[in-house]
C-alpha cells in the first residue's frame, strides 16, 4: 500500500480542477493550490511566477509533498503503520495550513491518535467541524466542507483497520487499560489479544506493601 500515492489521489479527487469563487478568500485555485502558494513555490526555486491555471502535474505533486505531506507528519504516521491517520492529517494540513493543523492537534489530540487511533480520529474530526462552523463563510461553503471531510474521515477509518483489524497499541475497556497485540472486529464484536496494564499503586497501599500481593 503506497499511502502517499493513494492519499494524494483522494485529495485531488476532492479538490477538483480550477475555480475562482468570488467568496473564496483563497482566490484563484487549481487542484487545491492557490495562486499565492504557487507563486511562492516557484519563487523559492528561482522560477518566474505564472498563472496557477498553467500548473503542471509534477508541480502539483511536488507542492503537496513538500508543503503538506512531509511537514504535517503524515509520512511519519504512514511509516509507523497508521495510514488512516496519515491521510486525515494530510487533508487537515491542506485545508487549514500547517499552523491550523498544529492548533487542532493540541490538548492531547496527538497522544490520543497515537494510543487510541480511532478515538483520536473522531476527536480530530469533531474539532475540524467546530472550526469550520466558526468561519464567516460557513453559510456559503459549509455543506461542501462537511461533505469533504466526511469522505476523508470515512476513508481514514477504513484504512486504519482494514478487514476489521484495529491498528492500536492500547485500549481502555470498561476503565481497564490493555497493551494490545492484536485487536479485531468480528461480526460486530471486539476481540483483543494483549495484556492488562496494572493500575498505579495508591500511596496507602504502597505503605503496607499490598500492591505486590494483589498483583
Residue 208 pLDDT greater than 60, yes or no: no
Q: What confidence score (pLDDT) does residue 3 get?
A: 94
**Which domains, and CATH codes, for the chain?**
3-160 (1.20.141.10), 170-214 (no CATH)
Q: Has residue 215 got a pLDDT over 60?
A: no
What is the model's pLDDT at position 157?
85
Residue-wise pLDDT tens digits, 130-175: 999 999 989 888 999 999 999 999 899 888 876 656 666 777 777 7
The pTM assigned to this predicted structure is 0.74
Q: What is the pLDDT of residues 16-26, one digit of tens each?
A: 888 877 766 66
What percentage of the chain carries pLDDT values higher than 90? 57
Do 160 and 78 meet the contact criterion of CB atoms below 8 Å apart?
no
Q: Dihedral angle at the C-alpha atoms of 133, 140, 14, 102, nearest 10 degrees? A: -30
93-118: average pLDDT: 93
Residue 20 has what pLDDT?
79
**Contact status, residue 160 vs residue 15, Cβ threshold 8 Å:** no
Q: Are 100 and 91 in contact (CB under 8 A)?
A: no
Mean pLDDT of the chain: 85
- Answer yes or no: are the C-beta atoms of 109 and 120 closer than 8 Å: yes
| Average of per-residue pLDDT across 1-28 | 84
Cell 497485540, located at residue: 181
Amino acid at each position: 500500500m503506497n499511502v502517499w500515492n493513494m492519499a494524494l489521489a483522494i485529495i485531488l479527487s476532492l479538490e477538483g480542477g480550477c475555480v475562482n469563487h468570488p467568496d473564496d478568500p483563497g482566490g484563484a485555485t487549481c487542484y487545491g493550490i492557490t495562486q499565492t502558494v504557487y507563486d511562492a513555490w516557484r519563487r523559492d526555486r528561482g522560477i518566474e511566477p505564472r498563472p496557477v491555471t498553467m500548473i503542471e502535474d509534477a508541480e502539483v505533486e511536488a507542492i503537496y509533498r513538500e508543503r503538506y505531506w512531509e511537514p504535517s507528519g503524515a509520512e511519519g504516521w504512514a511509516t509507523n503503520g497508521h495510514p488512516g491517520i496519515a491521510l486525515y492529517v494530510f487533508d487537515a494540513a491542506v485545508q487549514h495550513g500547517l499552523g491550523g493543523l498544529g492548533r487542532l492537534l493540541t490538548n492531547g489530540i496527538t497522544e490520543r491518535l497515537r494510543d487510541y487511533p480511532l478515538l483520536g480520529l473522531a476527536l480530530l474530526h469533531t474539532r475540524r467541524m467546530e472550526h469550520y462552523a466558526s468561519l464567516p463563510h460557513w453559510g456559503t461553503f459549509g455543506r461542501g466542507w462537511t461533505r469533504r471531510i466526511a469522505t476523508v474521515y470515512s476513508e481514514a477509518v477504513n484504512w486504519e483497520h482494514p478487514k476489521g483489524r484495529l491498528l492500536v497499541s492500547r485500549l481502555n475497556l470498561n476503565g481497564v487499560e490493555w497493551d494490545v497485540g492484536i485487536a479485531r472486529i468480528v461480526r460486530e464484536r471486539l476481540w483483543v489479544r494483549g495484556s492488562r496494564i496494572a493500575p498505579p499503586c495508591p500511596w496507602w497501599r504502597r505503605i503496607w506493601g499490598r500492591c505486590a500481593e494483589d498483583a
